Amino acid sequence: MKKKVISYQGVPGAYSHLVATKIFPNESYVESDTFHDTMKLVENGLADYAVIPVENSTVGRVEDFYRIIPQMNLYITQEHFEPIRHSLLSVKGNTFNNIKKVASHPQALAQCKQKIEALGLTGIIQFNTAGAAKLLAKSNDMSNAVIASSLAAKLYNLDILDDNFSDRSENVTRFVILSKEKNVPQKEEEKSYITSVLFTVKNIPAALFKVLSGFATNGVNLLKIESYSKVGSMYSSQFYIDLSGHPEEEKIKHSMEELKFFSQELTTLGVYEKSAYRRLIT
């Protein structure tokens, strides 16, 4: 059987790579420099799935996903919650006394901000955590450290100076799996689902209030709502929402009818089973 191709942003040892191997073991993996390139591989049929981080328990949403997804013809098929344990890495034999700068992805730098400041280090933005580790291994610069995974330390022959460098011990990132195929799973009574939707409200008074009221009156729980300016316009906002429920449920049907009535654009981004992790945090 032909192996599936899984795309992720970064290089081997990146957290997205780790998640890809957990969800899709023994498949083929292809790396990309950016989220856009990672998702475009799937849209163009060069990969079967993309693994993308969308939010973190310490610093919130990953903005790139919400900016790019409206421009793509992709669908969410699965969610995954991954505990993130950042390590501070440097070249072999190095000590804290030599380090002046620390490089990593902006999200990792934000998740370790307090510890970076406590050490008096200057944060340097890189495109990826493992990519920063790979560059450090090539430069062998004693004044630099990176924030990345312990796997990255092993892959790029770096020392771990601190194996728990996150500001918070409970540091979890939510990933979504994207596909070109829009497959809506048949509803099973013993399972719980999420319906993800992207919409733009009509330019009428209280349109958003009426949309949200429709969810409330139908007893639909909103797990997440994000708003941001629509690309190319300063006068129109898009909204991303995760609804608790399956489109076959009557409450979802009725609330979606109201949403459609007050929206000028409406796209269902995916219907998928809730992660078991959600049961541990509720």
CA dist 3 → 47, 48, 74, 75, 101 (Å) = 11, 10, 21, 21, 41
Integer Cα distance of 94 and 28 in angstroms: 35
Q: Which fold has domain 5-83+172-179?
A: D-Maltodextrin-Binding Protein; domain 2 (3.40.190)
pLDDT tens digits, one per residue of 68-81: 999 999 999 999 99
Integer Cα distance of 86 and 176 in angstroms: 20
Q: What is the mean pLDDT of residues 7-24?
A: 95
Residues of the chain with CATH 3.30.70.260: 193-273
pLDDT tens digits, one per residue of 105-143: 999 999 999 999 999 999 999 989 999 999 999 999 999
Q: What is the mean pLDDT of residues 188-200?
A: 95
Residues of the chain with CATH 3.40.190.10: 5-83+172-179, 87-162
Integer Cα distance of 119 and 14 in angstroms: 24
Q: What is the mean pLDDT of residues 184-203?
A: 93
Integer Cα distance of 23 and 70 in angstroms: 25
Strand partners, 174: 55, 81
Residue ranges of E strands in the chain: 5-9, 28-32, 49-56, 60-61, 75-83, 87-90, 101-104, 122-125, 144-148, 159-162, 172-179, 193-201, 222-229, 237-244, 263-273
pLDDT tens digits, one per residue of 25-83: 999 999 999 999 999 999 999 999 999 999 999 888 888 898 899 999 999 999 999 99
* Residue 252 in this model has a pLDDT that exceeds 70: yes
- Claim: this prediction has a pTM higher than 0.75: yes
CATH 3.40.50.10170 fits domain 87-162: no
CA dihedral (153, 31, 181, 183) in degrees, to 10, reads 0
Q: Which fold has domain 193-273?
A: Alpha-Beta Plaits (3.30.70)
